[in-house]
Amino acid sequence: MTAEELFEKTYTAYGPALYRFCRMQMGSNADTEDVLQEVFCKRLYRAPEFETAEQERRWLFRVAVNQCRDELRRKHRTDAALTNDLPAPAEADLGLWELVRTLPENQRTVIHLHYAEGWTVEEIAKILGTTVPAVKMRLKRGREALQREWEADR
C-alpha cells in the first residue's frame, strides 16, 4: 500500500472523528490541522503493525491526545476563545462548546472519548496509559463542572 493509499484509508475511517477531538482540544482550525498533520505523519511513517481496526483507532487517538497536549503546552493556551476561522460549532451549540473548552484538558479529553467516541472507562484508561480510578475521577469532575456551569447560566 502506498503512503497515499494509506492516508486515504486512514482518513476515511478516522479523519472526521480525529478532527472533532482535536478541534475540541485546540480551539482553532489552524492549530487543529497542524496537530492532525502530525498524527497522520506518525500513522504513515512511524506506526507499528495493527492486528485489528480497533487497535489502530485506539493508537490514533492516543497519538492525538499526546500531540494536542504537546501543542497546547508549547503554545501555553489556557483560554477557550474561538477564532474566526470557520467552520465552528452550530450557533445553538456555542454555549456548550465554550463550557467544554473551559474544562481542564484531561477532563475534556475523557468526556469526549467517553461520550463522543463511546469508549468505556477501562478502554480510555488504556488509551491514556493511566488508571481506571483516574479516568472515573476526571469524568465525574468534568460532568459536575459542566452541570454546575450550565445551571449557573440559566
Partner 1 sequence: MNRYVEMMERMPVPENQAERLKARVLAAEPEKKRRAYRPRSFAKNVLLAAVLVVLLAATAGTAAELVPWDAFFTERFSAGAADSPAAEDVFQNVDVTSVCGDVTLTVRQALGDEKTLYLLLDYQLPENVDMEMVRTVWEDRKGPVGNVELYSGTVKWTDIEGMGSWEASCALAGKNLPFSGSVETVDFDADSRTLTMLVTCAFSDKVSLGKPMTVLAWEPSVKWEGERVDLADHAAVVTFRPSYEARAKEGQKRKDGVTYTVELTPLSIKVENAGDREADLYTMWQLRQKIVLVYQDGTEAPIRDFSPTGSGGRGTSGDRHYESCKLLLKKLVDTAQVRAVRVGDLEIPIS
Footprint of partner 1 (CB under 8 A): 3-4, 7-8, 11, 15-16, 19-20, 23-24, 29, 33, 36-37, 40-42, 44-46, 48, 59, 62-63, 66, 86-87, 89-90, 93, 96-97, 100, 111-112, 115-116, 126, 128-131, 134, 143, 146
Q: How far is the CB of 146 from partner 1 (least distance, A)?
A: 8
Nearer to partner 1, 81 or 129 (CB): 129
Cis ω for the linkage preceding 89 (within 30 of 0): no
Rg (the chain; Cα; Å): 16
Q: What is the DSSP letter of 14?
A: H
CB-CB contact of 82 with 96 (8 Å): no
For cell 477501562, the residue is 122
How does DSSP assign 92-108, residue by residue?
GGHHHHHHHHHS-HHHH
CB of 92 to partner 1, least distance (A): 9
> What's the closest the beta carbon of residue 39 comes to partner 1, in angstroms?
9
